[in-house]
Chains A and B, each alone.
Chain A
Amino acid sequence: MRLLSWPSVTQLLLAPLVIASASEYNDYSENLLLKSLPGNSLLASFRFVSNGTFDSHHSVFPRSLAQILQQSQTKELHLKFTLGRWDAEQWGRQVWDGRTAGGTGVELWAWVDAADDAEADARWTTLNNALSGLFCASLNFIDSTRTIRPVMSFQPAGHHSPEGLERLHLLHGTLPREPVCTENLTPFLKLLPCKGKAGISSLLDGHRLFDAQWQSMSIDVKPVCEEDGKCQLQMEQTKPYAGGDSCFPLSGVTDLPWSLSEMFGRPIRGSCPLAVVPTEEATHVCVNIAEQRSIFVSQGSEERKKSPELRCFILHENIDFDIVLPELSPSTNLLPTTPPVYASRSLTGHGQERGGIQAVLNNPSSNSTVEFVYLESLPWFMKPYLHTLSATISGKDDRNIIQDIYYRPALDRKRGTQLEVRLRVPPGETVLLNYEFDKAVLRYTEYPPDANRGFDIAPAVISILDPASQKSTFSIRTTSLLLSLPTPDFSMPYNVIILTSTVMALAFGSIFNILVRRFVGADEVIGGGLVSKIRGHIMAFAAKRGRAGGDKPKTE
């Protein structure tokens, strides 16, 4: 048995929270959770929390980010970079209730303080452009056509005063096509106090990280008032590993061995000196694995066993830390935890004129109804027909499934469609949510350079609602879709111009000639013939000369 390939999952999460009150309270903590997932995968979830204020000059909270937030009057920010897809059927529910993971590509939403919509839009643009520079991502392409204002799906996570809440505008933008890569990771690491040199962030090496099957990097900034001006920076990374099989299809009977240095290419380089000293509760590294798996750690760390399945460690400065897990046979056979909803989405129909979208939403629970908001942010060139929206359970249309619809139609080239549907799915049932749409024809300059690839449609966001408070408690993203639009042959305009010019030049003249000219017999022409014509001209000229010559003396 040897490790052949390294498909793995990573999730990075960065969640700073900010408040403007002038407290000098600054702290930073970091935490790594390693969790075994079914299918011999490992989830590594890094969490970095920085607390700070805007006016502190020696804060662990990154000043670059603070200035941007201040400039754009952003009170709460959520920025997610995601690569790959979370396989809920195999890996179960996401950690942190799915709140730290975004849809494929880049997803950004923020609460911006502004007097009206126009001001909010202007600040939103400022924010996007500044973040674009900070994270080396194309966030500046989140323009009005990619921005929506969700009504039901998101609630502020931080503390806002009631009068401040009045002035807050929620804006949400997605870039499903943005590939997340090392150029986004480097600025991310720079926001951390230890900058990847020590502490758990030393594991964040781009080469290994981006070989993971799934990874997400998120930055969440929110004001926390009770704790008197905290700024929190979180980062979470997950990473599964997969082993090669032997000659016969008997894989999955053993739990494969792994170690930190094998997974990430290096051990943890001691603890970050800037991080707060962990207390009994707070630890640096936690491993969530089956009880019967043995675990070996390098020296210089303290173990805190929180539960049989959760073993945690406190690291010391300047001492490398590694974890080694030997192979275990037979396998512990982990069962995936069940998420509140299984969601998948696909395009239906074919052709370049119209299409449809089908979302399959399954409630795996056997006894409780689940209620959630399904949010679609569609580009303007996809024109859905709301009357075709239907929710069916096992082939039957059920009017009780759709509780509420919020729909904001698209305006051509100005804004996209926003569709929020609140659904209630009975236990154990699968709902098919269908709707149809028309495909618009774009101007030829509006196509991207790889026009024939198609256009990416942002993942739908599913926010599970708490039945009592109607607030979002869990969120899930579907995969993005690839929509093919009628695409012209881009060499065609050139060909057409060449062809029409040639045809015009060659054919028009002669056809026009034939149509207009009158054909007459040679004998019918009075005084026809070239010789007589020339003679006529000469005669006329001579006569003119003669007359002119004759007249001249007269006038003089």
Chain B
Amino acid sequence: MSILTSLRSTRILKLLPLVSALCILVGVTWLLLLPLDDYSRRTYISENALLPGQVHTYFGGSEQDVFRAYRHEVTTLGKNASADGSGVMAEKIGDIFDAFGLKVGKQKFEYAAAGGVYAGENVYAVLQAPRGDATEALVLCAAWVNTEGELNESGVALVLALARYLKRWSLWSKDIIFLITSDSRAGPQAWVDAYHDLHAPPAVASLPVKSGAIQGVVVVDYPTSRGFESLHIVYDGINGQLPNLDLINTAVRIASGQMNIRTTLQEMWNHDNRYKDRLCTMLRGMVNQALGHASGPHSSFIPYHIDAITLQAYGDGWHDEVTLGRAVESLFRSLNNLLEHFHQSFFFYLLMAERRFVSIGTYLPSAMLIAVNFTIAAIGLWLKSGRLNDKVEGQSTDGKVSEEKRLLKSAGEAPSSTEQLDAVSEERPLLLSMAFVVAIHFLGFIPLYLFNNLNEKNSAGAFYIFTLLNVVLPPVLCAIFTKSFAPTSLHFTLIKCFSLLLLGMFLSALATLNFSLSFLIGVFASPITFISPTPRRKWTIGAAWMTLLQGLTPTTALVGVALYWGEPLSEILKEAAFGWRVWGMWTQVVVWCVWWPAWIIAGVLVAGSWAVEG
């Protein structure tokens, strides 16, 4: 009783916006503190079975000649076969695998997204473990064309050379699948879907040969024939899911410890392991995670609870294909040691250097605090909405101090305190406000459908029209709403209350699934907390609010992403539609059905400030 009473007191209600602001401030500061030595940890190998870098690697010598022969073959094949010639590629690579005595399978696939058709043919070979029982498998993959659209000549040749080389070892406890996908985006997805029999025939063909449960995937991306300087480890999965940290740690340890190759993360080519670079690595990782797109061929495997990474050769240096081949060999020897599926180390982490990370327990509070700020504001509004009249009365007389005293005094006597509470609570008009909030949230399905189904050619145009509409939509909606239902200011308070409540709920749930997306949306949406729902006569404040809100729309964020990547907007929209169709990305759902409705409602509230009073 007493705690409820004190929450209803005006003083605490006044404090709530301050608490909200504090939550946001602490949340953001928390994240900024993470790269410091005291708040992050050094990575370590949690799974003892892995024993990274404990074996001698023997790839090299005459294998290098074989590798060069294959690279020559791949380069010639890449020159002759154009983009539609993936059938030729599968045929040729399949013959090479067949000559090793491996079981070869081919898979044709075809996806249609954003008006374009993505077709190709994957080819793969299964090396059956001697004495093995076909229950577990590892995948060594190379995409024929990498994410940048370059011919992955050394990568494919390395997979071929390693297939031939690894076949000779009799120590494998798991089958090894050598996979050459015809592209980096649709091919791996088609293959892994079909491997789990979750594909859609006949557009995506079934796999003729299968093996056991896949325990780990390593993708090799080495598009040049020159030496490389460092190894870039790409690990982001679809929808911000991450592979087990042990896999990344093993790769880092083998590359840097055993092979003496420098490793880099998140395209931070010159990482000096100081605060700024750590923060930058972490933020880049967060942006990738929030976008939830596939950052490499490995990404498609991660939603299937298969831990996967891409090893990209970067720069010009003195490391050659043999070094990379030995690193992959050593990595496979480690994976071969696994007795259980990867489970020991972290699945939720932020990496800030190749050997520095924070785990979910440390970073989660920052996103949670930001999500909680909305919930606190919503609770405040709910309590406030129940005692509007009383508050007006209290303010009109001798100020809140005397009222506080009166309340406290009355609380001491039980019978009179209940009377007092009855007097301050007021009937809330719930239906209209709730219906409005729900309707706006359902309105989000329109842009969701639109941008996922529009043709690539029209999408940019549609986006500009939508952006314009977005500017005028809140005032228009507000006008319609006020004209039709004649809402009071209490209605607006409740609309804001429900909207914030939903936002806080969605974001706190999302924070456990995709921390970065929740955090970034939370930061972008944080001004919504402070929009005053009560009408004001000063239109300048309203205009200022409107300008601020227009700067923080989902559409602005999309333009921001386009600038960040340095790609045209149509490319981003195409990628999003492709992700929705092929990868099963749901970033769009969060943007259009959680963030955008909250933003629209904020706009309506600002517009409502003019509408109701003016």
Give the residues in chain A near B131, CB-CB below 8 Å: 7, 83-84, 210-214
On whether the beta carbons of A515 and B3 are closer than 8 Å, the reply is yes
Partner of B101, one of A6, A104, A252, A517: A252
Give the residues in chain B near A514, CB-CB below 8 Å: 2-3
Known contacts A249-B100, A453-B341, A484-B341; A344 and B135 CB within 8 A of each other: no
Least Cβ–Cβ distance between A3 and chain B, in angstroms: 11
On whether the beta carbons of A519 and B2 are closer than 8 Å, the reply is yes
Give the residues in chain A near B65, CB-CB below 8 Å: 247
Binds B, one of A46-54, A140-148, A347-355, A529-537: A347-355
The interface centre, meaning the residue of A6, A244, A344 with most chain B CB atoms within 10 A of its CB, is: A344
Give the residues in chain A near B99, CB-CB below 8 Å: 249-252
Least Cβ–Cβ distance between B465 and chain A, in angstroms: 40
Whether B92 sits at the interface, judged by CB under 8 Å, is no
Cα distance A519–B411 when bound, in Å? 8
Whether B96 sits at the interface, judged by CB under 8 Å, is yes
Cα distance A5–B131 when bound, in Å? 13
Binds A, one of B195-203, B325-333, B382-390: B195-203
Known contacts A84-B131, A481-B135, A515-B3; A348 and B412 CB within 8 A of each other: no
Give the residues in chain A near B540, CB-CB below 8 Å: none
Size category of the binding interface on chain A: 35 or more
Binds A, one of B150-158, B163-171, B291-299, B529-537: B163-171
Cα distance A7–B132 when bound, in Å? 11
Known contacts A7-B130, A85-B133, A213-B130; A454 and B213 CB within 8 A of each other: yes
On whether the beta carbons of A479 and B339 are closer than 8 Å, the reply is no
Partner of A85, one of B1, B128, B168, B305: B128
Cα distance A212–B132 when bound, in Å? 10
Whether A4 sits at the interface, judged by CB under 8 Å, is yes
Least Cβ–Cβ distance between A519 and chain B, in angstroms: 5
Whether B66 sits at the interface, judged by CB under 8 Å, is yes
Whether A116 sits at the interface, judged by CB under 8 Å, is no
On whether the beta carbons of B198 and A348 are closer than 8 Å, the reply is yes
Cα distance A280–B6 when bound, in Å? 106
On whether the beta carbons of B198 and A349 are closer than 8 Å, the reply is yes
Query: Which positions 199-225 of chain A face chain B at CB distance < 8 Å?
Result: 210-214
Residue of A nearest to B3 (CB): A514
Known contacts A39-B101, A211-B170, A482-B135; A249 and B304 CB within 8 A of each other: no
Give the residues in chain B near A350, CB-CB below 8 Å: 196, 198, 304-305
Query: Which positions 1-53 of chain B face chain A at CB distance < 8 Å?
Result: 1-3, 6
Give the residues in chain A near B411, CB-CB below 8 Å: 519-520
The number of chain B residues with a CB under 8 A from chain A is 42
Give the residues in chain A near B69, CB-CB below 8 Å: 248
Give the residues in chain B near A250, CB-CB below 8 Å: 99
Whether A556 sits at the interface, judged by CB under 8 Å, is no
Query: Which positions 172-208 of chain B face chain A at CB distance < 8 Å?
Result: 196-198, 201
Known contacts A7-B170, A213-B130; A487 and B197 CB within 8 A of each other: no
Whether A117 sits at the interface, judged by CB under 8 Å, is no
Whether A403 sits at the interface, judged by CB under 8 Å, is no
Query: Which positions 215-245 of chain A face chain B at CB distance < 8 Å?
Result: 244-245
Cα distance A84–B129 when bound, in Å? 8
On whether the beta carbons of A89 and B62 are closer than 8 Å, the reply is no
Cα distance A32–B76 when bound, in Å? 51
Cα distance A252–B197 when bound, in Å? 34
Cα distance A481–B134 when bound, in Å? 8
Least Cβ–Cβ distance between B397 and chain A, in angstroms: 21
Give residues in A with beta carbon < 8 Å to B: 4-7, 39, 83-85, 87, 89, 104-105, 210-214, 244-245, 247-252, 344, 346-350, 356, 358, 395, 450-454, 456, 479-482, 484, 487, 514-515, 517-521, 524
- The 4 tightest CB contacts between A and B, nearest first, are A348-B197, A7-B130, A452-B340, A482-B135
Give residues in B with beta carbon < 8 Å to A: 1-3, 6, 62, 65-66, 69, 96, 99-101, 103, 128, 130-136, 164, 168-170, 196-198, 201, 210, 212-213, 304-305, 339-341, 343, 408-409, 411-412
